[in-house]
Chains A and B, each alone.
Chain A
Amino acid sequence: MLTKQDKIDIFHEMTMIRKFEEKAGEMYERGNIRGFLHLYIGQEAVASGFMWPLRADDYVIGAYREHGQALGRCASPRAVMAELFGKSTGVSGGKGGSMHLFDVNRRFLGGTAIVGGGLPIAAGIGFAINYHGGDQICLCFFGDGAVNEGSFHETLNIASLWNLPILFICENNLYGMGTAVERASAVPNLPRRAQCYSMAVETVDGMDVLAVYEMADRLISEVRETKRPAFVEAVTYRYRGHSIADPGTYRTKEEIEEWRRRDPIVQYGKKLLDEGTLSSEEIEKIHSDVAKEIEAAVQFAEDSPIPKPEALYQDVYANRI
């Protein structure tokens, strides 16, 4: 059960992810961030809802649109922003960038830019948990595009065969880059694809953080107890294009507007207001506190040193060769 403070903290976190991403987009336009930048705006309820019931010793695997997941796993917004700036204080020391965020202390293990690439690794983490007889679980996030990769099918097969404690979370934002799910999948009902591998499958409204949280809380407990993997499709929407370079012309204005009307933060804020958890002044205060927090993250990133030249050759291997 969520306490009042939990509810407020979740609202704070979703707002923080949103403002972080808006600011990241702005910093990209100013040239402070380069490379690919895949913003999470619109999908905040998924990261927050699924991450909230996790224990500190559970593991999380993200994909390339993983800023929100890293922040949801409590990575510092300063260190994430510094990573996007390519600074040595970044979560990955400036060597990872937007698509390769890692925070091993928080058991956030990436950060991979290959569609479907994180799934086999999640199987390895699940295997290691069972090897030690632990009761942790691994949350594995990926997009709808990954369902058509071979790695998805190999991983779900072995996870079910070996009872690996993995919760597979497919963030279905309706497009794999610019290709709509129906144009990419012979069976657009994605849970059916997972069901073939004899695991529990569910779909949740990824715009409703409380619905996501309730499902996550229940499924995480189930996976932990039964050691059986499960699959969730979280139906959500990204407001921006695939990456910052994508104007998103394959979607209509009406479609985007329709989804924006269901904005996860606005909806949740209203709910908290209606039930009296927060007043409108308190909501305003959270917004302004978060804005300050993000400004401080940008300031930290700007003030941070660039990696030293010798960093180029460091950490290619675990030992010097």
Chain B
Amino acid sequence: MSKGDKMPVIYYRQALNQALREEMRRDENVFVIGEEVAQYQGAYRVTEDLLEEFGDRRVKDTPISEEVIAGIGTGAAMVGLRPVVEMMTVNFALLAMDQIVNHAAKLRYMSGGQIKIPMVIRAPEGAGMQLGAQHSQNLEAWFVHVPGLKVVTASTPYDAKGLLKSAIRDDSPVIFLEHALLYSMRGEVPEEGYTLPIGRADVKRKGDDITIIAYLRMVHIALSAAEALAKTGISAEVIDLRTLRPMDISTLVESVKKTKHAIIVEEDWPQCGIGAQVVDQLQLHAFDYLDAPIMRVTLADTPMPYSRELEQSALPNVEKVIATAGSVLKGTAREPAVSI
């Protein structure tokens, strides 16, 4: 693409679809398997038209049997295939946790390095659609806890394509978390193939006064909050973690060295959540640079209620992020000049 050309603007789900299509064309060993991925075209249409191009050998509908779906991915990966397993939602992946945690994550280690598991498990998660407690969870901390798994999140269509392609090429099991509310987000995505590195965070907005760390849908909440803070004279840097395991601590430390303040915005629960790990690493590696405690904006520590008002009050939002940033900056020269 020459300079000045506009990139195509496509949906997040289409970016994922492009990544799958390109990797399946590139490598005969890549296949897609899951509930409703083939004939139905994917519950969120991520696998649209793949059946038509690749046939039912490589795009495989399964019964509703999550444990064996994850096991087929694991077993097939053990003997050389590169499965991309779709869990219709992360909530259903709980039925497959034995295969994911006890098998996929462990087989390489406990075989003394004889086995590799080049498998991706894709799953949408997240809340905001009034789906109630069993369909509105963010379970990244469950996976991040487990050595042997990598955990990747994409906040934009551009990231979704580049990160999914890298995940498919990775020789270790990767949990690739998507957000149900992001599938219809639009963004610029190059038509040609490109990959983004696993293990690297991305500075989504430059700033000098406070670092806002986020991932997945919360990146957009953080960016909106940064816009609002800018109007009050506060310059916020927004970092998208992108990869939750391995986590890119050095990018966070570099930012905090500059801004001296940090908050984390996460859609998971607070206890032992992703932000807890971020705080631990920042106090260890950037303690001397911090002018105030690090604070977190998280999901309410409750199962998700159905009622729209209750659900919205449980979720992090722009107002909560601005207020938390204000608390962290209180007493500094950068305290918001006007109330927001």
Whether, in the assembled complex, B109 has its beta carbon less than 8 Å from a beta carbon of chain A, the answer is yes
Q: Which chain A positions have C-beta within 8 A of B199?
A: 321
Whether, in the assembled complex, B188 has its beta carbon less than 8 Å from a beta carbon of chain A, the answer is no
Whether, in the assembled complex, B81 has its beta carbon less than 8 Å from a beta carbon of chain A, the answer is yes
Which stretch of A47-55, A65-73, A110-118 is in the interface? Answer: A110-118
Q: Which chain A positions have C-beta within 8 A of B150?
A: 317, 321
Contact B111 A151 (CB under 8 A): no
Contact A104 B115 (CB under 8 A): yes
Q: How far is the CA of A103 from the CA of B112 in the complex (A)?
A: 10
Q: How far is the CA of A315 from the CA of B105 in the complex (A)?
A: 11
Known contacts A110-B107, A131-B81; A124/B76 CB under 8 A: yes
Q: Which chain A positions have C-beta within 8 A of B75?
A: 120-128
Contact B112 A94 (CB under 8 A): yes
Contact B113 A124 (CB under 8 A): no
Known contacts A94-B112, A102-B111, A151-B67; A321/B74 CB under 8 A: no
0 or 1 for each of B45-62: is its CB under 8 Å from A? (1 = yes): 000000000000100001
- Determine which residue in B62, B76, B99 has the highest number of CB atoms from chain A within 10 A of its CB, and name it: B76
Whether, in the assembled complex, B147 has its beta carbon less than 8 Å from a beta carbon of chain A, the answer is yes
**Which chain A residues numbered 77 to 119 have a C-beta less than 8 Å away from chain B?**
90-96, 100, 102-104, 109-112, 114, 117, 119
Known contacts A117-B103, A151-B71, A316-B109; A158/B62 CB under 8 A: yes
Q: Which chain B positions have C-beta within 8 A of A111?
A: 110-111
Whether, in the assembled complex, B156 has its beta carbon less than 8 Å from a beta carbon of chain A, the answer is no
Contact A92 B172 (CB under 8 A): no
Contact B111 A316 (CB under 8 A): no
- Determine which residue in A59, A119, A318 has the highest number of CB atoms from chain B within 10 A of its CB, and name it: A318
Contact A120 B116 (CB under 8 A): no
Q: Which chain A positions have C-beta within 8 A of B170?
A: 318-319
Q: Which chain B positions have C-beta within 8 A of A315?
A: 108-109, 112-113
The residue from B67, B79, B108, B246 contacting A59, defined by CB atoms under 8 A apart: B79
Contact B148 A317 (CB under 8 A): yes
Q: Which chain A positions have C-beta within 8 A of B68?
A: 119-120, 123, 151, 154-155, 157-158
The residue from A100, A110, A117, A128 contacting B76, defined by CB atoms under 8 A apart: A128
Q: How far is the CA of A128 from the CA of B31 in the complex (A)?
A: 10
Q: How far is the CA of A155 from the CA of B65 in the complex (A)?
A: 9
Complex: chain B residue closest to A122, CB-CB: B75
Contact A157 B172 (CB under 8 A): no
Whether, in the assembled complex, B98 has its beta carbon less than 8 Å from a beta carbon of chain A, the answer is yes
Complex: chain A residue closest to B62, CB-CB: A158
Whether, in the assembled complex, A5 has its beta carbon less than 8 Å from a beta carbon of chain B, the answer is no
B152 to A: closest C-beta gap in Å: 12
Complex: chain B residue closest to A103, CB-CB: B114
Contact B109 A124 (CB under 8 A): no
Complex: chain B residue closest to A312, CB-CB: B109
Q: Which chain B positions have C-beta within 8 A of A94?
A: 112
Q: How far is the CA of A117 from the CA of B97 in the complex (A)?
A: 11
Q: How far is the CA of A110 from the CA of B79 in the complex (A)?
A: 13
Complex: chain B residue closest to A59, CB-CB: B79
Whether, in the assembled complex, A314 has its beta carbon less than 8 Å from a beta carbon of chain B, the answer is yes
Whether, in the assembled complex, B4 has its beta carbon less than 8 Å from a beta carbon of chain A, the answer is no
Contact B78 A321 (CB under 8 A): no
**Which chain B residues numbered 92 to 129 have a C-beta less than 8 Å away from chain A?**
98-99, 102-103, 107-118
Q: How far is the CA of A319 from the CA of B57 in the complex (A)?
A: 29
Q: How far is the CA of A150 from the CA of B99 in the complex (A)?
A: 12
A58 to B: closest C-beta gap in Å: 12
Contact B114 A92 (CB under 8 A): yes
Known contacts A93-B112, A96-B110, A100-B110; A318/B72 CB under 8 A: no
B251 to A: closest C-beta gap in Å: 15
Q: Which chain A positions have C-beta within 8 A of B208?
A: none
Complex: chain A residue closest to B199, CB-CB: A321
Contact B110 A95 (CB under 8 A): yes
Contact A131 B57 (CB under 8 A): yes
Whether, in the assembled complex, B77 has its beta carbon less than 8 Å from a beta carbon of chain A, the answer is yes
Q: Which chain B positions have C-beta within 8 A of A158?
A: 62-63, 65, 68, 72
Q: How far is the CA of A121 from the CA of B100 in the complex (A)?
A: 11
Q: How far is the CA of A151 from the CA of B81 in the complex (A)?
A: 22
Contact A120 B67 (CB under 8 A): yes
Whether, in the assembled complex, A184 has its beta carbon less than 8 Å from a beta carbon of chain B, the answer is no
Contact B103 A104 (CB under 8 A): no
Contact B108 A318 (CB under 8 A): yes
The residue from B77, B81, B99, B113 contacting A93, defined by CB atoms under 8 A apart: B113
Whether, in the assembled complex, A266 has its beta carbon less than 8 Å from a beta carbon of chain B, the answer is no
Q: Which chain B positions have C-beta within 8 A of A319?
A: 170-172
Contact B72 A96 (CB under 8 A): no
**Which chain A residues numbered 279 to 321 have a C-beta less than 8 Å away from chain B?**
314-319, 321
Q: How far is the CA of A131 from the CA of B54 in the complex (A)?
A: 13
Q: How far is the CA of A318 from the CA of B62 in the complex (A)?
A: 28
Contact B74 A121 (CB under 8 A): yes
The residue from B99, B110, B117 contacting A92, defined by CB atoms under 8 A apart: B110
Q: How far is the CA of A100 from the CA of B110 in the complex (A)?
A: 6
Contact B73 A124 (CB under 8 A): yes
Q: Which chain A positions have C-beta within 8 A of B114?
A: 92, 102-104
Complex: chain A residue closest to B99, CB-CB: A120
* Shortest Cβ-Cβ A-B pairs, 10 listed: A120-B71, A124-B75, A93-B112, A318-B171, A102-B111, A315-B113, A154-B68, A121-B75, A154-B65, A124-B76
Partner-A contacts on B (CB < 8 A): 31, 57, 62-63, 65, 67-68, 70-81, 83, 98-99, 102-103, 107-118, 147-148, 150, 170-172, 199, 246
Partner-B contacts on A (CB < 8 A): 59, 90-96, 100, 102-104, 109-112, 114, 117, 119-128, 131, 150-151, 154-155, 157-158, 161, 314-319, 321
Q: A92-B114, A124-B73, A124-B78 are in contact. List 10 more A-B contacts (CB 8 A).
A: A94-B112, A102-B112, A104-B115, A117-B99, A124-B79, A126-B75, A131-B57, A155-B71, A317-B148, A318-B172
12 A-B Cβ contacts within 8 A?
A102-B111, A109-B78, A111-B110, A117-B99, A117-B103, A120-B72, A128-B75, A128-B80, A157-B63, A316-B108, A317-B172, A319-B172
